[in-house]
Amino acid sequence: MTAMEFTSTRDSAHSAGFAAALLQGLAPDGGLYVPRAWPVVPAASFTGQSALPDVATRLLTPFAEGDPLDAFLPAITSDAFNFSAPLVPLGTDGRLSVLELFHGPTAAFKDFGARFLAACLSRLRKPGQRPLTILVATSGDTGGAVAAAFHGRPGIEVAVLFPKGLVSPTQERQLTCWGGNVQSFAVRGTFDDCQRLVKQAFVDPELRAHSELSSANSINLGRLLPQAVYYAATSLAIWRQYGEKASFVIPSGNLGNAAACTWARKLGLPIGEIVLAHNANRTVPDYLDSGEWRPRASVATLASAMDVGDPSNMERLRALFPEVGDLRAAVSAFTIQDQDIRSRIRAGFEQFGQIWCPHTATAAEAYERLSASRHWSQVSREGRWVVVATAHPAKFREIVEPLIGRPVAVPEALAKLFARPTECTEIDADLTALRAALGRRTSSWKS
């Protein structure tokens, strides 16, 4: 059995197996790992499999074959996919549904990727090894999902860096409520300072000397692949029930979730159209319109987790669709302004009794524009459509509650987090400060 290889999007001479790609995060040339070849996993090969862990094992087996993680795959998928992704129909004809990806510990879809990566990395630890330290710079949501996923895993420590005073109080709670093997740092600086610190830490001999360092940000293959699983499971359910392909509208920022959907379709799952719903950060829709790739600084919107002006996973989409024409044939994209996000949150509640977070509402609004679309794409609303719900509305209560005129109930998982005590260390935005803080940590653990 030959192991599957993953190659860098920049230079395919850089390749790694599944476990190695997960541990490295980025390829040595700064590129992102993508499969060198695509296995085919057609709908008919999922006999009797519909639960997420089973679909995950079937879908990901070709990627793990011959790899150190292969034998653990069933255990990893049942550990990672331990919460559901229900498909909720809107209206009565079953043509439009919402896929709720927010039933995990931090109530957003990033829990899937973070939990899968944590489940994999914890199985690559051997007793007696130096600790593995996961460094994450976060502007809000990613850090919480990563902290939750790695919390309590033996042999792994997590350091979360966030810009002091620049994340919402709700986000800050999710970053600082863990303790144990998770340490939070409020950095006196910006998000860019946090990212710079993480990059410096990776090449710092002193830090590397006492622990192995890895990252868990969204370009890690171990976060992307598991996201293909819920697209596979959903398209299978629709295929089995109606004999039709499922089309998806995906709230998009850094394009990880969207790239995963294109991967699921590439693997042979019955997926039709893929529509990317962007907020006012219109780099991708502009690229599809003009054919010119012009990354830019991000602008702040209501759907803040999608405020990305230079999406990293574009490299993965380009690897799959090298010419802009190929990409236009594969996906379409919409730009949705804040005022239309607001009105869609109101309309979703009035029409369907649904309460949507701003990201989900962005996708619901893009769906509404399909038939009236004057875009180059000829995508219409025919067929079976799924709007992807990426976060629970309770995470964005300040925005949602005034629009629908009532309180949003907090799910149990979030309520539990909010009840925990918080703890964090404030540090200056320089490597010396980070080293000292991490060092203290390591020695107090040994004693």
Ligand X SMILES: *Cc1c(COP(=O)(O)O)cnc(C)c1O
C-beta separation of 32 from 316 below 8 A: yes
Chosen residue from 108, 124, 417, 438 binding ligand X by CB under 6 A: 108
Identify the residue among 115, 153, 359, 369 touching ligand X (CB under 6 A).
359
Q: Which stretch binds ligand X (CB under 6 A): 124-132, 186-194, 251-259, 327-335?
A: 251-259
Is there binding between residue 283 and ligand X (CB under 6 A)?
no
Contact between 134 and ligand X by CB under 6 A: the answer reads: no
- Does 110 participate in binding ligand X (rule CB under 6 A)? yes
The Cα–Cα gap between 140 and 163 comes to 9
Tell me whether residue 293 or residue 445 sits nearer to ligand X (CB atom): 293
CB of 447 to ligand X, least distance (A): 38
Smaller CB separation from ligand X, 207 or 355: 355
Nearer to ligand X, 107 or 182 (CB): 107
Contact status, residue 15 vs residue 221, Cβ threshold 8 Å: no
CB of 316 to ligand X, least distance (A): 11
Tell whether the torsion through CA atoms of 233, 236, 238 and 240 is positive or negative: negative
- Give the nearer residue to ligand X in terms of CB position, either 181 or 281: 281
- Is 127 or 169 the residue whose CB approaches ligand X more closely? 169
Among 176, 252, 262, 301, binds ligand X (CB under 6 A): 252
Pairing of strands 182-188, 425-428: parallel
Q: CB-wise, 122 or 170, nearer to ligand X?
A: 170
Nearest to 444 by CA among 86, 181, 165, 92: 181
- What's at 16, amino acid-wise? A
Both tokens assigned to 122: 């914890």
Please list the residues that pair with 323 across neighbouring strands. none
Q: Which residue has the tokens 């803040």?
A: 304
Name which of 8, 59, 11, 10 is nearest 34 in CA terms. Answer: 8
- Please work out the total of residues on this chain that contact ligand X, with binding judged by CB under 6 A: 17
CA count, 13 A, side-chain hemisphere, 172: 15
Beta strands in 91-164, from DSSP E residues, in sequence order: 96-100, 132-137, 156-163
Shortest CB 138 distance to ligand X, Å? 11
Residue 34 binds ligand X (CB under 6 A): no
The closest of 391, 437, 421, 443 to 161, measured between CA atoms, is: 437
Closest distance of CB 115 from ligand X, Å: 14
Rounded CA gap, 237 and 41, in Å? Answer: 15
Which of 221, 258 has the CB closer to ligand X?
A: 258
Identify the CA nearest to 107 among candidates 312, 347, 414: 414
Binding of ligand X at residue 143 (CB under 6 A)?
no
Among 251, 285, 348, 393, binds ligand X (CB under 6 A): 251
Nearer to ligand X, 220 or 254 (CB): 254
The residue to which tokens 């919409």 are assigned: 334
Tell me how far, at minimum, the Cβ of 360 lies from ligand X, in Å: 8
Q: Which of residues 398-437 bind ligand X (CB under 6 A)?
A: none
Q: Segment 362-381, which members bind ligand X (CB under 6 A)?
A: none
> Pattern 209-248, binding to ligand X, x per CB under 6 A?
---------x------------------------------
Radius of gyration of the CA atoms of the chain, in A? 21
The answer to the question of residue 201 lying near ligand X (CB under 6 A) is no
- Where does this chain touch ligand X (CB under 6 A) — which range of 6-14, 201-209, 256-264, 436-444? 256-264
- Residue pair 153/181 in contact (Cβ under 8 Å)? The answer is yes
Strands (E), 36-131: 87-90, 96-100
Separation in Å, CA 195 to CA 189, 247, 279, 302? 11, 35, 23, 23
Among positions 246, 331, 391, 403, the unique one binding ligand X when judged by CB under 6 A: 391
Of 54, 158, 75, 78, the closest CA to residue 123 belongs to 75
Instruction: Choose the stretch contacting ligand X; rule: CB under 6 A; options: 35-43, 250-258, 324-332, 345-353.
Output: 250-258
Single out the segment in contact with ligand X by CB under 6 A; choices: 199-207, 252-260, 378-386, 412-420.
Answer: 252-260
DSSP bridge pairs for 160: 136, 184
Torsion sign across C-alpha atoms 298, 300, 301, 303: positive
Candidate residues 219, 305, 345, 366; the one interacting with ligand X per rule CB under 6 A? 305
CB 33 within 8 A of CB 6: yes
Instruction: Enumerate binding residues for ligand X (CB under 6 A).
Output: 108, 110, 141, 218, 251-258, 305-306, 359, 390-391
